[in-house]
Amino acid sequence: MSITPNSPLSIQDPAIASAINAEAHRQQTSLELIPSENFVSPAVLEALGSVATNKYAEGYPGKRYYGGCENVDVMEDLARDRAKAIYGAEHVNVQSHSGAPANIAVYAALLSPGDTVLGMDLSHGGHLTHGHPVTDSAQRYNFLRYKTTPEGTIDYDALEATAKEHKPKLILVGYSAYSREIDYKRVKEIAESVGAFAMADIAHIAGLIAGGEMNNPVPFFDVVTTTTHKTLRGPRGGMIMCQSALAKQIDKAVFPLLQGGPHMNTIAAKAVAFGEAQEPAFKLYAKQIKANAQALATALTTRGFKLAFGGTENHLMLLDLTSKAITGGIAQTALDSAGITCNKNMIPDDPRSPMDPSGLRLGTPAITTRGLKAEQMANIAHWIDQAIQNHANPIALANIKAEVADFMNPYPLFQK
């Protein structure tokens, strides 16, 4: 058989086909506990791999720089309208390629170089794009960081005191490892008292908000960013929601300031995911994510694990492994060998480096998509405990991996 551009992937590029098949097997036979990962529906995958990827569409619906955009305009309008309906947003931009560019676009739209931003400390659950010194944004703007209290909640009093002292242009809340609810109204009041914009990054909890399981800052915050994967269970991408008064600034920052042609196949897949998030079944899904997280947290606590921030009120938990005499890096490697996928993570004021920190971050969105319920979290906690205890024993880890694969066999990647 001659190889042409129309040949099946297995013929045209067997190396990539083999790697994709191996990844599908890994996902099917493993416990996916990374809180920022999920499994999309066949419909989302179909849109993502559609002919929409062929179309250049610089600009926005009705105002493109290319012809032939009448169909992709429909896709983008549907994505925007569905997001508005879900979150109560006045304006939505769905063109950001991922969460980090969405945050950078907001900074570019609302700030001038040297302006002060108050964001959450990375080791207390924040995100790199919230002002960590290694990022480009930290070189352009003056980021100050707030932390959590010993009890595990955001220190709103310290946040307010810092805001009053330094008068930031922007106050940012949101997280990648924080496991508690946020008092958005308090943050908005603090921002208004110092004349700052209020911004929320809901990348991790967008699906829980869509399902009515967590507070929604969109109607009263100035701007809210999110990814469209994670708990929202869509394609990898970003989104910005804002008040209508900021719409032109935000849109111009995304295009043409920072990005060129939007990925229309991804935008089509976002629209599909937003449609799914409007279904009654999605509310049940969001509720089950939280129930599973709380059950897993309880099961781990009974096995002697300490949870940072005093527990979980969302989809994730951060284990403090200092009392277990193991680092997060070693634990992650051991769990990988046992068929349990998670990620090492810093704990508040961690003395260790990000490459081998003291914590381990776990979440329940993906296993909930697979169909697991709260009563099965004890099994998972048991395997986590056994893998960490036997982290230097390859035979024990291989046995756990076989048990995990057998356990996950009845739960397909694509739920009907």
As for how many domains the chain has, the answer is: 2
Domain CATH for 305: 3.90.1150.10
Mean pLDDT of 17-24: 97
Residue 399 resides in a domain: yes
Using N-to-C axis directions, what is the helix angle for 328-337 and 394-408, rounded to 10°?
60
199 neighbors 221 (Cβ within 8 angstroms) = yes
* pLDDT per residue as tens digits for the range 263-293: 999 999 999 999 999 999 999 999 999 999 9
Same domain assignment for residues 311 and 227? no
Same domain assignment for residues 271 and 323? no
Find the catalytic residue in 58, 73, 77, 183.
58
Same domain assignment for residues 270 and 348? no
Find the catalytic residue in 55, 169, 188, 236.
236
Distances (CA, A) of 215 to 102, 199, 202, 242, 405: 21, 14, 10, 17, 36
Residues of the domain holding 379: 282-408
pTM (2 d.p.): 0.95
pLDDT of the residue at 1: 47
Same domain assignment for residues 53 and 113? yes
* pLDDT per residue as tens digits for the range 216-250: 999 999 999 999 999 999 999 999 999 999 999 99
Helix H or strand E segment including 336: helix 328-337
29 noted as active-site residue: no
Same domain assignment for residues 288 and 251? no
Same domain assignment for residues 269 and 293? no
- Sheet of 142-146, strand order: 91-93, 238-242, 223-227, 197-201, 170-174, 116-120, 142-146
Same domain assignment for residues 148 and 63? yes
Residue 294 resides in a domain: yes
Same domain assignment for residues 272 and 342? no
145 neighbors 169 (Cβ within 8 angstroms) = no
Find the catalytic residue in 32, 76, 160, 201.
201
| Main-chain dihedrals φ then ψ at residue 218, nearest 5 degrees | -60, -45
| Rounded Cα gap, residues 307 and 359, in angstroms | 9
pLDDT of the residue at 122: 76
* pLDDT per residue as tens digits for the range 307-333: 999 999 999 999 999 999 999 999 999
Closest CA to 203 of 242, 170, 175: 175
227 noted as active-site residue: yes
Residue after which a domain boundary falls, among 217, 252, 277: 277
201 noted as active-site residue: yes
Give 416's pLDDT tier (boundaries 50, 70, 90): low
Same domain assignment for residues 129 and 88? yes
285 noted as active-site residue: no
Residue after which a domain boundary falls, among 240, 261, 277: 277
Residue 24 resides in a domain: no
Residue 18 resides in a domain: no
Contacts 24+ apart (CB under 8 A), 243-248: 243/90, 243/91, 244/90, 244/91, 246/91, 246/109, 246/110, 246/222, 247/90, 247/91
Distances (CA, A) of 403 to 325, 370, 383: 25, 17, 9
Average pLDDT, the chain: 95
Mean pLDDT of 42-65: 98
58 noted as active-site residue: yes
Mean pLDDT of 130-141: 85
228 noted as active-site residue: no
Higher per-residue confidence, 35 vs 137: 35
Same domain assignment for residues 371 and 315? yes
| Rounded Cα gap, residues 95 and 123, in angstroms | 30
Distances (CA, A) of 130 to 140, 231, 300: 12, 20, 30
Residue 23 resides in a domain: no
- Which residues have CB under 8 Å from 402's CB, separation 6+? none
- Which residues have CB under 8 Å from 234's CB, separation 6+? 40, 44, 228, 269, 270, 272, 273, 274
Strands (E), 243-296: none
Helix H or strand E segment including 143: strand 142-146
Find the catalytic residue in 227, 231, 266, 364.
227
DSSP 255: I
Residue 322 resides in a domain: yes
| Rounded Cα gap, residues 63 and 47, in angstroms | 23
Residue 171 resides in a domain: yes
* pLDDT per residue as tens digits for the range 177-216: 899 999 999 999 999 999 999 999 999 999 999 999 999 9
| Rounded Cα gap, residues 173 and 178, in angstroms | 11
Strands (E), 202-249: 223-227, 238-242
Same domain assignment for residues 271 and 291? no
Residue 80 resides in a domain: yes
Same domain assignment for residues 246 and 191? yes
Find the catalytic residue in 230, 290, 370, 401.
230
Domain CATH for 172: 3.40.640.10
pLDDT of the residue at 157: 94
Residue after which a domain boundary falls, among 228, 256, 277: 277
Closest CA to 319 of 335, 297, 338, 341: 297
